[in-house]
């Protein structure tokens, strides 16, 4: 399995401002995003991203099939009327075993609910590969989910677009407790270019020490 984290951030490393403004992408960045969507088997987001952005997670600015959508939500604190539950393709939710009215509402909309006793992001990815033949994943956020993935070390690549905004405060790319400096992972930059808009930088890093699951 190959896991790509895709994000557009401010100069100071934020996914969104303190009031959750996150519209950072130029038109070329959106095209890059949708091309990658068309190349993967699944897009993964966290529950906060679903609640705040209510995204479709489909392919619009590129040719190709829309991948399955995956939402990570241990609490199932999500709106069952969110857009991705109303339109194709398939949506899968990963959670922990629980009794919930929302779960039953989602099942009536043909949403697949996967309950994991030993819950971790690495186990979610393993389950996607074993049961849904997912070989390539695109992670689109948010910060808490990206932090969990980085902490568990189950990603291969990070693709970043650095926009021209500065937020000062807000949601960090990897929004969690953080590492001690000596324990923080060090990635390898293998591609860097100026965006076609001439005002953003596009970076690609690989993770040379990915955990084998």
What does the pLDDT look like over 45-101, one tens digit per residue?
999 999 999 999 999 999 999 999 999 999 999 999 999 999 999 999 999 998 888
Is residue 178 included in any domain, yes or no? yes
Determine, yes or no, domain membership for 13: yes
Instruction: Say yes or no to pLDDT of 44 above 80.
Output: yes
Does residue 74 lie within any of the structural domains? yes
The token pair that represents 17 in the structure block: 């401002």
Please report whether residue 211 resides in a domain.
no
Answer whether residue 86 is part of any domain.
Answer: yes
Averaged confidence pLDDT in the chain: 95
- 107 inside domain: yes
Residue 76 maps to a domain: yes
Domain limits for position 40: 2-206
Instruction: Dig out the tokens for 70 from the structure.
Output: 């995956």
- The answer to whether residue 70 sits within a structural domain is yes
For the cut 80, the answer to whether the pLDDT of residue 194 exceeds it is yes
Q: Inform me whether the pLDDT recorded for 29 exceeds 90.
A: yes
Burial of 75 (0-12, 13-18, 19+ CB in 10 A): exposed
CATH (domain of 41): 3.40.430.10
Domain count, the chain: 1
CB 140 within 8 A of CB 49: yes
| pLDDT the model gives residue 213 | 60
What integer is the mean pLDDT of 7-28? 95
Nearest by Cα to 124 from 76, 70, 82: 70
């Amino acid at each position: 399995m190959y896991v790509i984290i895709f994000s557009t951030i401010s100069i100071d490393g934020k996914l969104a401002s303190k009031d959750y403004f996150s519209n950072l992408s130029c038109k070329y960045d959106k095209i890059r995003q949708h091309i990658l969507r068309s190349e993967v088997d699944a897009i993964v987001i966290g529950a906060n991203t679903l609640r705040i952005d209510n995204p479709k997670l489909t392919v619009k600015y590129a040719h190709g099939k829309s991948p399955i959508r995956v939402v990570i939500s241990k609490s199932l604190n999500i709106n069952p009327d969110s857009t991705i539950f109303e339109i194709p393709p398939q949506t899968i939710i990963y959670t922990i075993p629980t009794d919930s009215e929302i779960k039953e509402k989602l099942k009536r909309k043909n949403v697949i609910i996967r309950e994991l006793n030993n819950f971790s992001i690495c186990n979610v990815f393993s389950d996607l590969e074993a049961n849904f033949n997912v070989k390539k994943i695109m992670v689109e956020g948010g910060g808490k989910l990206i932090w969990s993935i980085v902490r568990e070390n189950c990603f291969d690549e990070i693709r970043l677009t650095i926009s021209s905004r500065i937020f000062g405060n807000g949601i960090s790319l990897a929004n969690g407790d953080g590492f001690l400096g000596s324990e923080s992972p060090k990635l390898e930059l293998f591609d860097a270019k100026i965006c076609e808009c001439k005002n953003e930088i596009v970076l690609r890093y690989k993770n040379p020490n990915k955990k084998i699951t």
